[in-house]
Structure 1
Amino acid sequence: MQAARGASLSDAHTGPESHVRPVRWAEFAAVAVFLLVIDQITKLWAVATLVPGQPQELIGSVLQLNIIRNPGAAFSTGTGFTWFFTTLSIVATIGVIWFARRVRHRGWAFALGILVAGISGNLIDRLLREPGFYVGHVVDFLQLPNWPIFNVADMCINVAAVLIVILSFRGIGLDGSVDGRSKGKPQNNAEGEAR
């Protein structure tokens, strides 16, 4: 059956919607799993190797290894509310994964993958580490001068936040649309290469 002279029905669907970019689920998942594994391996290494109260220089005094157990959030705030941060992390992880199902832009796939790795990395600590389930303390072991001790998961959260701000500032939507333009409209080569 022909939709128009010389064109099949499948050809009739070659408008803007036929050029929808594929969902970037695999890229999101690969980034998230890779960084989560790095976070957990480095924490296992830190727990097995470092001694609390005995910092070791990694890059002189600029970057030291100094293990602590943090029951709170950044800057050790809210140390009595570990259960709250655990709950918040669970909700945030589910929310990021839910949004990632709609991602069609590589930048967003990477940003959300990095973010979920960071959130879930610290969530695993809160669920499984001492002093007990749901109230575990996060392992932090990287120390910069005049800055709270942190870990790989914390770095992921901060990098993801920067990427999200950049993508939002550039007007790039989760679906790859730019500044309200249709996701099916052709973009310039520089923008296309990023997707």
Structure 2
Amino acid sequence: MLDNGPVSTESNAEPAEPAEVEQTSAAEKPLPPKRVLLLALIAPVVFALDLVTKIVAVQQLEGQPPIELLGGLVYLSFLRNSGAAFGMAEGYTVVLALIACGVVGFILWIARKLRSVGWAIGLGLVLGGALGNLADRIFRGPGPLRGHVVDFISVVEPYGAFFPVFNVADSAICVGGAVIVLMAIMQRDYDGSRVEKKSVGKNA
């Protein structure tokens, strides 16, 4: 038998490198566009509408009997309110003015991260309404931060016999607050992200 020499155990082929494990994690979704412009459009419109209606109310309704509209469903009844929305917390005008300043400051602070349409609408309504009533507290009598808010809308009965008299700003604040609550229920955050529910007690 011919001696072919020692058999080489090494293969001429290059050693197989371990397969690269591809990352399967999903790429982060691009952030939605900022909605500061939407907020900046809604708030001034609400503020202007509130301001104009209050000016008209002072000129046409002060000292006059209530005006009945829609068969008595709505009355235009002029009142000056020293309290919060719908006549609550009367006598705390300064405190309410400071709270309104805080609300306005907070909305302006988070506006830089605002990317949700729903939140922009809700915060825009709240901001415009807060500015409307805050302007009354600053510029109307009896003095700065103590001014009484002009209210003139009453439902079913005049002068708030059925429901407290309110104004456009109060309505905007309530509607805006409802929109924000709805966004929270839908787990939508103001920065455009969605809050995911974490599973509890799930076996690995």
Question: Scaled by the length of structure 1, what TM-score is found?
Answer: 0.81
State the partner residue of 1:148. 164
| Native 8 Å contact 1:71 1:82 kept in 2 | yes
Q: Aligned to 2:164, what secondary structure does the other structure show?
A: coil
Q: Aligned to 1:101, what secondary structure does the other structure show?
A: helix
Greater share of helix residues, 1 or 2? Answer: 1
Q: Which runs of 4+ in 1 moved over 4 A?
A: none
Percent of pairs with identical residues:
36
Q: Which stretch has the larger CA shift, 20-29 or 75-84?
A: 75-84
State the partner residue of 1:48. 59
| Native 8 Å contact 2:39 2:123 kept in 1 | yes
How do residues 3-18 of structure 1 correspond to structure 2 at under 5 angstroms?
15-16=27-28
Once the 2 structures are TM-superposed, how far is the Cα of residue 75 of structure 1 from its aligned partner?
Answer: 4.1
Query: Alignment length, in residue pairs?
Result: 166
| Native 8 Å contact 2:137 2:147 kept in 1 | yes
**Distance in 2 between residues matched to 1:53 and 1:113, nearest whole Å:** 33
State the partner residue of 1:101. 112
State the partner residue of 2:127. 116
**Distance in 2 between residues matched to 1:52 and 1:147, nearest whole Å:** 21
State the partner residue of 2:9. none
Q: Which stretches in structure 1 are left out of the alignment for 5+ residues?
A: 1-14, 182-195
Q: Aligned to 1:156, what secondary structure does the other structure show?
A: helix
Change (3 A) 1:48 1:61: same
State the partner residue of 1:164. 180
State the partner residue of 2:159. none
Question: Scaled by the length of structure 2, what TM-score is found?
Answer: 0.77
**Distance in 2 between residues matched to 1:107 and 1:79, nearest whole Å:** 32
